[in-house]
């Protein structure tokens, strides 16, 4: 069984003490590919470097809504330059986050999201979207970019919005959150969505699946996400692992 962790922040400070050890060991632990997203320009540049170092690591570059203070033409050009580096397979993570009251203003978040979706379209790259408590606005921005495909990572919206995203050609990915006690809504979405549009991720170092919740997360736990999806859909974990692996190869346009 092989797994593709489509979202793990290995440039996070949480891995400063043992980054190389953890990342180098992933293939032995069954995780033969992973995408490291950026959340600001510095992290995006470091994701590109990490991808250059490890054959099984790919990078996404972009500015996260929580980090979009100062967004404008200059930052946009910096993302564009990073996006042209080798092994950059997506623009992300980008999106909207209305959870924290001290986040950048919503209008600025929307502008950064719009601009980066347009960039994804221009470069022919998929987008990795973070949508926290901003479902209506996130979907509205996505609808304005019909030529762009993407994934809503750590999907937390309704089954109805999920169906809208699927009609638009988008994917959904799920984290260890689906193993938590309060995950009923996400499990209903998983039941409603065809496996062909689902990917698995850890969002490491965050969101460690049960029964390890509270520990630092890494891609070695992503099989627990696949197991939960298998349980909900009445499939084997091997079937879910391989289907989500193939989905990720197609989504990121990675050849075997
Ligand atoms: Ni993330």
pLDDT tens, 71-110?
999 999 999 999 999 999 999 999 999 999 999 999 999 9
In 3-state terms, what secondary structure has residue 32?
strand
Q: Mean pLDDT across the chain, nearest whole number?
A: 97
256 pLDDT above the threshold of 90: no
Q: Are 24 and 220 in contact (CB under 8 A)?
A: no
Task: Report the separation in Å between the CA atom of 255 and the middle of ligand 1, taken as the mean of its atom positions.
Answer: 24
pLDDT for 198: 98
Share of the chain above pLDDT 90, in %: 99
Share of the chain above pLDDT 70, in %: 100
Query: How does pLDDT run across 163-181, given as a tens digit for each residue?
Result: 999 999 999 999 999 999 9
- Residue 150, CB half-sphere, CA atoms under 13 Å: how many? 33
Task: Report the separation in Å between the CA atom of 28 and the middle of ligand 1, taken as the mean of its atom positions.
Answer: 24
Q: Which residues contact 192 (CB under 8 A, 6 or more apart)?
A: 159, 162, 163
- Other beta carbons within 10 angstroms of residue 44's beta carbon come to 29
Task: Report the separation in Å between the CA atom of 147 and the middle of ligand 1, taken as the mean of its atom positions.
Answer: 24
Task: Report the separation in Å between the CA atom of 186 and the middle of ligand 1, taken as the mean of its atom positions.
Answer: 17
Task: Report the separation in Å between the CA atom of 188 and the middle of ligand 1, taken as the mean of its atom positions.
Answer: 22
| Reduced DSSP (H G I as helix, E B as strand, rest coil) percent helix, strand, coil of the chain, to 5 | 45, 20, 35
Q: Are 224 and 196 in contact (CB under 8 A)?
A: no
Task: Report the separation in Å between the CA atom of 219 and the middle of ligand 1, taken as the mean of its atom positions.
Answer: 13
pLDDT for 78: 98
CA-CA distance, 58 to 234, in Å (whole number)? 31
CA-CA distance, 67 to 151, in Å (whole number)? 20
Task: Report the separation in Å between the CA atom of 7 and the middle of ligand 1, taken as the mean of its atom positions.
Answer: 6
Q: What is the mean pLDDT of residues 49-61?
A: 98
Query: Residue 50 sits in which domain range?
Result: 3-252
Task: Report the separation in Å between the CA atom of 216 and the middle of ligand 1, taken as the mean of its atom positions.
Answer: 14
CA-CA distance, 27 to 145, in Å (whole number)? 36
Q: Are 184 and 192 in contact (CB under 8 A)?
A: no
For position 230, which CATH number holds? 3.20.20.140
38 pLDDT above the threshold of 90: yes
| Number of domains, the chain | 1
- Residue 108, CB half-sphere, CA atoms under 13 Å: how many? 16
218, 71, 211, 62: which is closest to 148 by C-alpha? 62
In 3-state terms, what secondary structure has residue 147?
coil
Task: Report the separation in Å between the CA atom of 93 and the middle of ligand 1, taken as the mean of its atom positions.
Answer: 7
Chain CA centroid to CA 175, Å: 9
22 pLDDT above the threshold of 90: yes
């Amino acid at each position: 069984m092989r797994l593709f962790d489509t979202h793990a922040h290995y440039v996070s400070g949480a891995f400063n003490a043992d980054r190389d050890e953890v990342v180098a060991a992933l293939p032995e632990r069954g995780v033969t590919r992973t995408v490291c997203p950026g959340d600001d320009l510095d992290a995006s540049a470091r994701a590109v470097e990490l991808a250059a170092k490890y054959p099984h690591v790919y990078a996404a570059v972009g500015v996260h809504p929580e980090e979009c203070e100062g967004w404008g033409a200059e930052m946009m050009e910096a993302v564009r330059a990073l996006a042209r580096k080798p092994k950059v397979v997506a623009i992300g993570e980008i999106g909207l986050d209305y959870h924290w009251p001290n986040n950048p203003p919503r209008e600025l978040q929307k502008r950064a999201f719009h601009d980066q979706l347009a960039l994804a379209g221009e470069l022919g790259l998929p987008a990795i979207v973070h949508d926290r408590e901003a479902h209506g606005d996130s979907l509205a921005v996505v609808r304005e970019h019909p030529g762009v495909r993407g994934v809503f990572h750590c999907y937390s919206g309704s089954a109805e919005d999920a169906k809208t995203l699927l009609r638009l050609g988008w994917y959904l990915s799920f984290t260890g959150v689906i193993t938590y006690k309060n995950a009923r809504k996400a499990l209903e979405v998983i039941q409603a969505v065809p496996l062909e549009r689902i990917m698995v991720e850890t969002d490491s170092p965050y969101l460690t699946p049960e029964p390890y919740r509270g520990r630092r997360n890494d891609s070695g736990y992503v099989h627990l996400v696949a197991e939960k999806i298998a349980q909900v859909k009445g499939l084997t974990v091997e079937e879910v692992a391989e289907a989500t692996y193939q989905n990720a190869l197609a989504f990121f346009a990675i050849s075997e």
